[in-house]
């Protein structure tokens, strides 16, 4: 056998070294991309959610007064104005953690999107957390549910759609990735990751965008739990624009309608969906703009409104846009009959919207 020359040996070692470097560089780069996608896009970390303590859908029975506020989107000052106008609080706190509940045994429901778009999402979170504690001490309750912005942030904190929340967290030296993973020292992520996805209060169902599938609440709860455990907060049952309960749209037509629906068809289809949930009324946020129904009627942009004699209520007023001062939906039962009132900031601030 011929002996290898020094040149052959040198070339051999060079190519082996080159191949090793290439493997390490490309392999680690590929792992980094896969790891980032796995950790922060689909599911930040194993959910580890106690579904018994934090159910997918909160269900309570109560004859007490109900308030609902939609899509706060980081508008801290606007939220305080609405809480004052509704007499849920009696004074403006100088810090979020000093807010005091005034509304006795009433119930406040905020069906999602209290973060992002506006500049003070963290203050909104701290205020609502403290309000939950304060309400519980007085016999009241504050129910906060997921919106698409909370789910989108947890699914991918690098998503451009939640850039305002990400920017705000960074300005406070809080890692968005740590929040999404539920690992920030302030507990913001843990709080968000344990939110319910909808709420049923008596025969009123509160959900961020809608409920396009005919399904019972028990079955929907089970589907949400399984989907989130398997697919993370970006699961289609949450964020798909056609079937996601946090993302279905009112354009080009309301999510329960079909193209060329007649008014009777539209009403019947929505009634069937709501009946299957075991409720009489649905309250949604998500889209503050103008939209048109199959009967030619329209919902004006930025206004709380209802359709089909109280079957469905729309409460996103576009607070963060400053085109609206916001409003509160107030639900009361008086002498056995329910009525819904809109509460606005300022004086002479109540207007009846619907009654039985």
Task: Look at residue 22 in the predicted model and tell me its pLDDT.
Answer: 41
88 and 8: one domain? no
Domain count, the chain: 2
CATH of the domain at 102: 3.60.21.10
Structure tokens at 113: 């999107």
Distance CA 161, CA 37 (A): 17
Report the pLDDT averaged over residues 160-173. 94
Task: Look at residue 21 in the predicted model and tell me its pLDDT.
Answer: 38
248 and 310: one domain? yes
57 and 8: one domain? no
Distance CA 157, CA 34 (A): 16
Please state the pTM of the whole predicted model. Answer: 0.86
Report the pLDDT averaged over residues 190-205. 97
234 and 212: one domain? yes
Report the pLDDT averaged over residues 206-233. 96
108 and 30: one domain? no
Sheet holding 198-201, edge to edge: 57-60, 198-201, 204-206, 281-284, 312-314, 305-307
24 and 86: one domain? no
Distance CA 262, CA 265 (A): 5
Question: Between 31 and 153, whose confidence is greater?
Answer: 153
111 and 166: one domain? yes
Task: Look at residue 320 in the predicted model and tell me its pLDDT.
Answer: 78
CB 325 within 8 A of CB 78: yes
142 and 249: one domain? yes
Please write the tens of the pLDDT for every residue from 66-116.
999 999 999 999 999 999 999 999 899 999 999 999 999 999 999 999 999
Residue 3 has pLDDT above 60, yes or no: no
Provide the domain limits for residue 6: 1-42
Residues of the chain with pLDDT > 90, as a percent, come to: 72
90 and 239: one domain? yes
174 and 33: one domain? no
Q: How confident is the model at residue 46 (pLDDT cuts 50, 70, 90)?
A: low
Residue 29 has pLDDT above 50, yes or no: no
Task: Look at residue 37 in the predicted model and tell me its pLDDT.
Answer: 32
Report the pLDDT averaged over residues 152-165. 93
Closest CA to 337 of 104, 68, 63, 139: 63
Of the ranges 3-7, 8-12, 29-33, 166-170, which one carries the lowest mean pLDDT score?
29-33
Residue 11 has pLDDT above 50, yes or no: no
317 and 215: one domain? yes
Report the DSSP pairing between strands 291-292 and 298-299: antiparallel
Q: How confident is the model at residue 39 (pLDDT cuts 50, 70, 90)?
A: very low
3-state helix, strand, coil in the chain (%, to 5): 40, 15, 45
Question: Between 45 and 119, whose confidence is greater?
Answer: 119
Q: How confident is the model at residue 18 (pLDDT cuts 50, 70, 90)?
A: very low
Q: Output DSSP code: residue 40.
A: I
CB 108 within 8 A of CB 139: no
Please write the tens of the pLDDT for every residue from 274-329.
999 999 999 999 999 898 998 889 999 999 999 999 999 999 999 877 667 799 99
């Amino acid at each position: 056998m011929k002996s290898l020359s020094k040149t052959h040996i040198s070339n051999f070692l060079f190519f082996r070294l080159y191949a090793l470097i290439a493997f390490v560089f490309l392999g680690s780069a590929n792992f980094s991309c896969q790891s980032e996608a796995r950790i922060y896009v689909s599911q930040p970390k194993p959910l580890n959610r106690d579904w018994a303590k934090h159910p997918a859908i909160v269900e309570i029975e109560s004859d007490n007064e109900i308030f609902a506020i939609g899509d706060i989107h980081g508008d801290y000052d606007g939220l305080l104005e609405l809480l004052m106008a509704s007499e849920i609080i009696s004074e403006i706190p100088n810090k979020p953690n000093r807010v005091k509940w005034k509304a006795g045994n009433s119930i406040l429901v905020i069906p999602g999107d209290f973060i992002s778009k506006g500049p003070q999402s963290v203050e909104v979170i701290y205020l609502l957390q403290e309000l939950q504690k304060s309400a519980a001490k007085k016999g009241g309750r504050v129910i906060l549910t997921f919106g698409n912005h909370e789910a989108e942030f947890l699914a991918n904190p690098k998503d451009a759609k939640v850039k305002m929340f990400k920017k705000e967290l960074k300005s406070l030296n809080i890692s968005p990735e740590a929040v999404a993973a539920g690992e920030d020292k302030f507990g913001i992520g843990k709080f968000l990751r344990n939110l319910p996805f909808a709420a049923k209060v008596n025969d009123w169902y509160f959900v961020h965008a809608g409920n396009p599938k005919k399904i019972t609440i028990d079955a929907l709860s089970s589907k949400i739990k399984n989907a989130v455990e398997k697919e993370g907060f970006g699961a289609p049952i949450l964020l798909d624009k056609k079937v996601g309960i946090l993302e279905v749209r009112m354009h080009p037509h309301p999510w329960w309608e079909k193209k060329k629906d007649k008014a009777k068809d539209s009403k019947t289809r929505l009634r069937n969906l709501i009946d299957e949930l075991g409720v009489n009324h649905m309250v949604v946020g998500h889209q503050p703009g103008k939209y048109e129904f199959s009967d030619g009627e329209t919902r004006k942009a930025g206004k709380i409104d209802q359709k089909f004699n109280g079957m469905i209520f729309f409460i996103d007023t576009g607070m963060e846009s400053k085109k609206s001062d916001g409003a509160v939906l107030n639900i009361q039962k008086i002498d056995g009959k329910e009525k819904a009132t809109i509460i606005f900031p300022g004086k002479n601030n109540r207007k009846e919207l619907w009654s039985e």
